[in-house]
Structure 1
Amino acid sequence: MADCYRGDKRATDSKQQLRKALFHLLREKEWGKISVQDLTKKAGIHRTTFYQHYEDKFDLAQQVMDEMFDVMKAAIFAPVQEEDWQADHAAYVYIFRFYQHLQEHEEEYQILLKRGRELNIHQTASAFFEESFSLGLEEVAGSNPDPHHVPLEMQKQFVISAYVGTAEWWLRKGRPYSPDFMASSMIQLIENHE
């Protein structure tokens, strides 16, 4: 059992070192100029260890991004305590958690924004927001029915574009407003209140 644990711990440590190496190198270099050798050298591990966990550098980047979005989803949709609810809108707590998570992990998300096109994160981000939109609808179902019967697919695209674009702007501008302000403002904008 102890050997198994040591093996798991070594694998976890290697993956953490590679993740750190990936973000460190992405700060300095274009994705196309980063090699597996660069990653393993920066992480201080052997190439054979790298290939035990990943097929190539693209697999590493994809797994790291998948993990980041899984952690974000868990943070946003963790059980809500009664005192966390804000009376004026059921979605507030989820939007607030989204911005709070971005703030807590700002450096990594800034790097993804900078290298997003090179890393082709659009597909991973789109899948995350599609799933989160559906989860969010389930969580706040019935709280604000649409009286105009706008098709759900159209609502989804509008909301996802609004949140992604605004979050990118917020990060690029150096987070000029608090997560609380952002959550309240986003609700106001989406509902078209003044």
Structure 2
Amino acid sequence: MAATKHAQQIKIDSQQYLTTALFQLLQTKSLNEIKVTDLIKRAGVSRMAYYRNYQDVSDILRQYFKPQIDRLFDDVLLGSPSEEKLAHLQHYFDTLSAQLILADHANFEYVIAQIFLENMQHYYEQTPTWSQLTPMQRRYWTTFMSHGVYAIWREWLVSGRSERLATIHDLIGSFQNATVQALRVK
């Protein structure tokens, strides 16, 4: 059992080293310029440690961002009080704003946007409105809303977060409600 715990700790350490090294490299290179050799050298891990954990360098980013984005959507799905949701959103943006801004400059924003889309799909599947929409409406509505909501959060963050978080949150809610109403009319 001790060997198993030790092996698990080595795996966790390798993942952390690779994540740290990747964010360091992303300060000066775009994601598509980073080679596995550069990454493992920077992280101080073996090539085998890398391939035991990841198939692609973008997998590191996915593993880093996915749990954090999933938690934000869990607040919504679980019906957490608005104050709690806003507090978690505030913490998310405070903690990750540098990496989220870096995503645009280092060409890895697509990783975050894909995680966001997956969560939006899961969220909409849980809403009562979902069953009232045709399959075509579901597909396009999810794509439209996911990209739109993501773009609003991105714009708010990149433009310096000058509006209150609650204001942006309410704005997104009003856009979602208006879109649902528009689909119901047809």
The TM tier, using the shorter chain, reads 0.7 to 0.9
1:57-87 deviations in whole A, cap 9, x for unaligned?
xx13224324412431133214344xx148x
Contact 1:76 1:98 in 2 (8 A): no
Residue number in structure 2 paired with 1:135: 122
Question: Is the contact made by 1:37 and 1:47 (CA closer than 8 Å) also made in structure 2?
Answer: yes
CA deviation after TM superposition for structure 1 residue 160, in Å: 1.6
Q: Which residue of 1 aligns with 2:36?
A: 36
What residue identity is the alignment partner of 1:162?
A: G
Describe the SS at the equivalent of 1:72: helix
> RMSD across aligned C-alpha pairs, in angstroms?
3.3
Shift of 1:108: 1.9
5+ long unaligned stretches in structure 1: 87-91
- Give the aligned length: 173
TM-score between the two structures when normalised by the length of structure 1: 0.70
Alignment pair present for 1:11 and 2:14: no
**Residue type matched to 1:38 in 2?**
D
Matches of 1:110 and 1:13, distance apart in 2: 26
> CA–CA distance in 2 between the matches of 1:71 and 1:182?
20
Q: Is the 8 A contact 1:19 1:64 kept in 2?
A: yes
Distance 1:169 1:96, change over 3 A: farther
Contiguous gaps of at least 5 residues in structure 2: 179-186
Q: Distance in 2 between matches of 1:154 and 1:70?
A: 26
The 5 A counterparts of 1:104-115 are: 104-115=95-106
Comparing both structures, which one devotes a greater share of its residues to helix?
Answer: 2
For each residue in 1:112-160, what CA deviation from the matched residue of structure 2 results, as whole angstroms up to 9, or x when unmatched? 22223xx4x537733x344322332355426xx89xxx93334323312
Shift of 1:186: 1.6
In the aligned structure 2, how far is the partner of 1:4 from the partner of 1:179? 44
CA gap 1:163/1:103 in 2 versus in 1, 3 angstroms = farther
Runs of 4+ in 1 over 4 A off after TM superposition: 95-100
